[in-house]
Amino acid sequence: MQKILKQVENKKIFDVLIIGSGAAGNSLALQLPKTMSVGLISKTELHEGSTYYAQGGISAVLSKIDSINQHVEDTMEAGAGLCKEDIVKAVAKDSKVIIEWLLEQGVKFTKNESGSSDKLHLTKEGGHTYPRIVHAADKTGEAIQDSLINKVKKQSNIELFTHHVAIDLITKENKDSAQKKCVGSYILNKKNNQINVFKAKFVVLATGGANKVYLYTSNPDTSSGDGIAMAYRAGCDIANMEFMQFHPTCLFHHKAKSFLISESLRGEGGRLLLPNGDSFMHKYDSRGVLAPRDIVARAIDSEMKINGFDYVLLDISHKKSSFIKKRFPNIYKKCLEFNIDITKTPMPVVPATHYTCGGINIDINARTNIKNLYAIGEVAHSGLHGANRMASNSLLECIFFSKKVLEDIKKYENEKHEDIRNLLENNKDKKVSEEVIIKHSWKEIRTLMWNYVGIVRTNERLLKAKIRISIFKREVEESFDKNIISSDLIELRNLIYIAEIIITSALARKESRGLHYNLDYPKINDEAKDTIINIGVKNNIKLYQEK
C-alpha cells in the first residue's frame, strides 16, 4: 500500500521573492535596500547551480588595447544577427563597474605575475578579439558564488529557504489593464513535502537554464528549466529557445559526468586534434580553435560522425607543466582522478549542452510581460546573446540585470501586497508517484532531445520529437493532478514543457542561424528575427516577432 502524505499550505510574506540562488539571485538580494524583506529560494544548497561550476571567467573591458566598441562588435558577431545592440552596449559599458563591485564583495580574481601586482590577469576565449576574461584561476564561478553567499548569510533582511522548489507562479488579473500581475509563488519544502504559499510585491526568477533537458550536459542537475516553464504556464513570452548552446569540450569519460573543460584552455594554446593526432579546425573556420562555440561544436560533431569517432582530443601538454598546474589547477586535478595527466597527454572531449541562450523575454529593466515579475540571468532572454552566446558574457549579464531590477523596484517601493485566494488543491487524498516511472520518463525525454533535437536537426526528427513529447505532456499533467506533488515530479513536468518549447521554436525557424542548424534549411535568412512563444497565443507561437 502506498504511503499517503498530507501537504499543508502556509503563507509567507515578503517584499521581494527571489527564486534562484546563483550569481543573479544572490547579487540582487545583496543590493536590495535593508528596509525590504527578501525571501531567497534555493532548490538544494545555496552554492549548487551553474554559477558555482563556471570555470572560465567574466568578460570586461579593462585593457588599454581593448575597447567597449570592440567588445560590442565581438558579441554581435557571435550572436549571428540576433543580439539587441542597445543591450550589448549597455552591458559592455558597465563591465568595468561590475568587476569593481565584485571585488568589493571579496571575490579574489587572479592577478598578473609581472608588472603592476594590483592589475587583474586577463585571458582570451573564443570570439574575443583581445584578452578580456577576468578569472579566478579556473574556478571563477566558485569564487564569485562563495563571496556572494558569505555576504547573503550575514544580511538580516534576507531569509534563506534551501531545499525548496517552486511549483508555479501565482498571478491575478489586473482590473485596470489587460496585463496580469504576479503576486507570489507556490513553493514545495523538500524537507517535509509541504507546499507553502509565498506572497510578494515583486517576484524575480533567477532559476538558471534548461540544459538538463538533454542527455549530455555540463550543467548540474538543478538546470531543469523550472523558471522558464513556470513563466510559460503563467503567460510570459518565451523567446529564441531553439538556441541551445553546446559547449564543444566536455571530458569524455564514463565516470566524469560531462565535466566541463573550460574554453580558456584553448585560449591559452590548447589544440583540438582527431584521435590520430591530426588537427581539423582549420577546415571549418579561419579562427581555428577560438572560433565561436557553435562552429567548434558542429565541427567536432561533424568529425565524430564522418569518422565514427567517440571523441576528439584537446591537448595542452606542449605547454610547461608548471604553467598548466597553476593556470588550470581544478581541471588538472579532476583529470588526474580519471588517470589523465594533462601535462603529458591530451584529454578526450565531446560536445555537451551548456547554456540556454533563449528564455523569458525581458526588457532593459528585466521586466517580463507580467506586471511585477522579473527574470535575470540564464533564465531570461535579454538580447545579449542572440543566436549564440559569446564566452564569459553570462556572469556579466547576471550582475548587470540584478542592478536593473534593483533600480526598477525602487520606483515602486510603496506597492501593496495582493490578497491570494486561489490556493492549491489540498493533496491529502493523493498518492505518491512511483519513482521508477519518473526516472524512466526523465531518461527517455533527455535521450529523445539529444538524438532528435541536437546539434544538427532535420524537420523529420523535429516532427517526430513533437509527437512523442505531446504524449509525455499529457501523461505528466494527469500524474500531476492525481499524485502528491514531489520535487522529482515538478522537475519532470518542467522538463517536458521545456522540450515542447524548444521543439516548437526549432520548427518555426526556417533557416540555420547560430546554434540552430537544420539540414532542411541550411542557409541563413536575410532578415534576423526572434521566435516568440506564448501559451495564450493561438498555436502557442508568434512566428518571428520583430525585435
CA distance 389 to 245: 7
Q: What's the rounded Cα separation, in Å, for the pair 126 and 354?
A: 15
Helices then strands, counting H and E runs in the chain, come out as 14, 19
Secondary structure letter of residue 536 according to DSSP: T
* Side chain identity at residue 331, one-letter code: I
Note if 293 is an active site residue. yes
Catalytically annotated residue among 132, 293, 298, 457: 293
Alpha-carbon distance 494 to 420, whole Å?
Answer: 24
**Long-range CB contact pairs, 406-412, < 8 A, 24+:** 406/28, 406/31, 406/32, 407/365, 408/365, 408/366, 408/367, 408/374, 409/16, 409/32, 409/36, 409/202, 410/33, 412/201, 412/202, 412/372
Q: What are the residues facing 185 on neighbouring strands?
A: 169, 198
Q: What backbone torsions phi and psi does residue 324 show, to the nearest 5 degrees? A: -60, -45
Give 489's DSSP letter: H
CA 251 to chain centre: 20
Query: Of 412, 408, 386, 413, nearest to 397 (Cα)?
Result: 386
Burial of 254 (0-12, 13-18, 19+ CB in 10 A): exposed
Backbone phi, psi, residue 218, to 5°: -85, -5
Amino acid, single-letter form, for residue 56:
G
Q: How far is CA 40 from CA 17, 102, 195, 336, in A?
A: 6, 20, 16, 37
Indicate the pairing of strand 359-361 with strand 312-315.
Answer: unpaired
* DSSP summary character for residue 153: T
C-alpha span between 124 and 321 (Å, rounded): 20
Give me the residues paired with residue 373 across strands: 203
Q: To 10 degrees, the CA torsion angle through 446, 451, 453, 455?
A: 110
Residue 474 has a CB neighbour count (10 Å cut-off) of: 11
| HEC assignment per residue over 102-122 | HHHCCCCCCECCCCCCCCECE
In the block, residue with C-alpha cell 507546499: 195
Active site residues: 293
